[in-house]
Chain A
Amino acid sequence: MRWLGPQQATTPLVQHILLALLASGALLYLLHRFLGPRGRRALIVVVTFLFGLFFGLEYFLPVRTKTLWPTGLPNTGGSAGNLLTPGIEPMSNILAVIGAFTVGLGVYSLVQVHGRNVLRRRPGWHNSLAFFISFLAMFGFGLWQYSLHLPEPLPPTLTPLQAFANNGYEFLFRGLYAPLQAATFSLLAFYIASAAYRAFRIRTTDAGLMMAAAFVVMLGQVPIGAWLTRGLPNEGVIALLRLENLGDWVMRWLNSPAQRGIALGVAIGALAMSLRVWLSLERGTFFAEQK
């Protein structure tokens, strides 16, 4: 347990982790063993309802708590709340722990897909082999470097093994992964250009209007736009025809209301969807089929 670090590697914490893992495993086994599909579905419906009720009530209940916690609310970092607010952090922790369990499922899915490719020598199997090598290299160096608990900034003298572990991690993360990420992001510039070219080809009246609006807005954003209409006055109605003002007008009075209209519709849609999920009315895997 040395890799946990000097502070974390205390016996009670390790015991708690092991106990929690055992209890979770036993609970999952019992649920899987004794609950049929209908029972599992009923359990999901009940848990969904209770969690939704908890978070909903926490938001809607009035904040009047001095009589309950005269010295301040526990578990809230000093912020205000109501009867349920102290439960938010533990509830969020539960969700985070459940989420952490699924990382293993993700890795299992990757190993399953790529392992099959390698074992059956499917076309492109060498790509899957590259996955295993990269995965093991990053995992190994990451864990090794973390277990050394090197201070920041690095001390001038490192043992050869420490230097190897640290340099390996730095090479993989900062030397390989970060530039690859940046290179992918930069591809977006080309994709935006090609998508814009396709969108702005004037084939219909709508496309023509969009092109005209885009032309005005883009020119309004750059100095040459202001230069083109520099002869127009700065004051009065005519000033609106200056490209920087016209572009601003299009964004403020045409674009913003349209975006807000869509946002309002989306908000109501999300509310309806939330109610359907909360009350298990939605059609889907974990919600009973409608008869």
Chain B
Amino acid sequence: MAGGELLPNEGGGVNSLEHANWFMRALFFTLSAVIVASVLSAQRGRAMFIRRIPGLSAIEEAVGRATEMGKPIFFSPGIDGIGITTLQALAILSYIVRLAAARVTRVLVALRDSTVLPIAEETVREAYDAAGRPEDYRPEDVRFVSDEQFAYALGSVGMMAREQTATHFLFGGFYAEALILTENGRALGALQVAGCPDPVQIPFFIATCDYVVIGDEYYAASAYLTREPTLTGSLVGQDLGKAVLVALIVTGIVMATVLGGATPIVAALLGKGG
């Protein structure tokens, strides 16, 4: 395709959100290479340090609280459909169910998106199997509540109140329903641990939950909880990727200060895709 021309209706360029420009290609492959290199390095046995993340460390304590009280745990993977955020929430769910199953504690899962239902069911079933207690798996504990945002919120609050849940985990994509869930959970006296990658929702969780996983800590969860080399390597790769971005930002600041804002280099970086 090299040497081909742009179509006449393209207006001389392409939206860079639809197709990458050269800078996006270079950045994506650099960051991906950094992450994959860290994964390979960790798999070869290189020791990697992960700082303590209080919100994730609290998961075991929160599961233990429900066990001591003899009450179930409530888990919500948010209201997003299948995507990276929800898949991470399901990975956390898998860890929580294993912990809870080993301590004979029920985990109730409330879902808003029906596409998540079969995956969540399979996740919970396999976690019970992995914990060596397949007979404790109850299909009705993984429930589709409603695909409407507020109906889901109220249905979940109903579950909390009826089952008198002792611990609430909210990991995933949350929006306006977050406060309805956590304020009612607080009124019930539950210990609440929440995590959301969206900076807009984090303040609401901080105001109402006992522990909160903030920003990119959310995507560090599976590595932090399992300490598996591949995941730990990926986590260190994330941090190296952030260092690359910080270096780019500093370079940009220096360039903008010395050369002025509208230089040809900046224009090329922000150029259209194609």
Contact = CB atoms under 8 A, between A and B. Distances in A.
B228 A103 contact: no
B6 interface: yes
A153 B32 CA distance: 55
Contact of A196 (B115, B158, B207, B222): B207
B215 A185 contact: no
A82 B19 CA distance: 9
Given A67-B1, A198-B208, A272 B235 contact: yes
B91 A282 contact: yes
A44 to B, nearest CB: 10
A281 interface: yes
B1 A65 contact: yes
B95 to A, nearest CB: 8
Contacts of A105: 114, 117-118, 144
A265 B199 CA distance: 11
Contacts of B154: 184
A149 interface: no
Contact of A265 (B19, B216, B234): B216
A277 interface: yes
A29 B229 CA distance: 37
Please report whether the interface of chain B is mostly helix, strand, loop or mixed according to DSSP.
Answer: helix
18 contacts: A59-B18, A66-B5, A99-B114, A103-B114, A106-B147, A110-B144, A112-B140, A265-B215, A266-B216, A268-B216, A269-B215, A272-B234, A273-B87, A282-B87, A284-B90, A284-B222, A285-B94, A290-B228
Contacts of A99: 81, 114-115
B183 A266 contact: no
Contacts of A188: 176, 179-180
A275 B35 contact: yes
Given A106-B144, A269-B219, A272-B234, A284 B94 contact: yes
A255 to B, nearest CB: 10
Contact of A285 (B14, B81, B122, B216): B122
B179 A191 contact: yes
B48 to A, nearest CB: 14
A60 B20 contact: yes
A195 B94 contact: no
B58 interface: no
A251 interface: no
Given A60-B19, A79-B10, A290-B229, 17 more contacts: A63-B19, A64-B1, A79-B18, A80-B274, A82-B19, A99-B114, A102-B115, A188-B176, A191-B180, A199-B207, A269-B218, A273-B84, A277-B87, A282-B231, A283-B228, A285-B123, A285-B126
B230 interface: yes
B234 A113 contact: no
Interface of A: 59-69, 72-73, 78-83, 98-99, 102-103, 105-107, 109-110, 112-113, 116, 123-124, 127, 181, 184-185, 187-188, 191-192, 194-196, 198-199, 259, 262-266, 268-277, 281-286, 289-290
Contacts of B142: 109
B91 to A, nearest CB: 5
B123 A275 contact: no
A62 B272 CA distance: 12
A98 B115 CA distance: 8
Nearest to B226: A283
Contacts of B237: 272
Given A66-B4, A264-B245, A271-B241, A109 B234 contact: no
Interface of B: 1-7, 9-10, 14, 18-20, 25, 28, 31-32, 35-36, 39, 81, 84-85, 87-88, 90-91, 94, 111, 114-115, 117-119, 122-123, 126, 130, 139-140, 142-144, 147-148, 150-151, 153-154, 158, 162, 176, 179-180, 182-183, 197-199, 202-204, 206-208, 214-216, 218-220, 222, 226, 228-231, 234-235, 237-238, 241-242, 245, 273-274
Contacts of B199: 259, 262-263, 266
A82 B215 CA distance: 35
A63 B87 contact: no
Contacts of A277: 84, 87
Contacts of B226: 283
A265 B203 CA distance: 17
B97 to A, nearest CB: 11
A64 B13 CA distance: 11
Contacts of A113: 140, 143
Contacts of B118: 102, 105
Given A60-B20, A72-B9, A268 B245 contact: yes
Contacts of B115: 98-99, 102
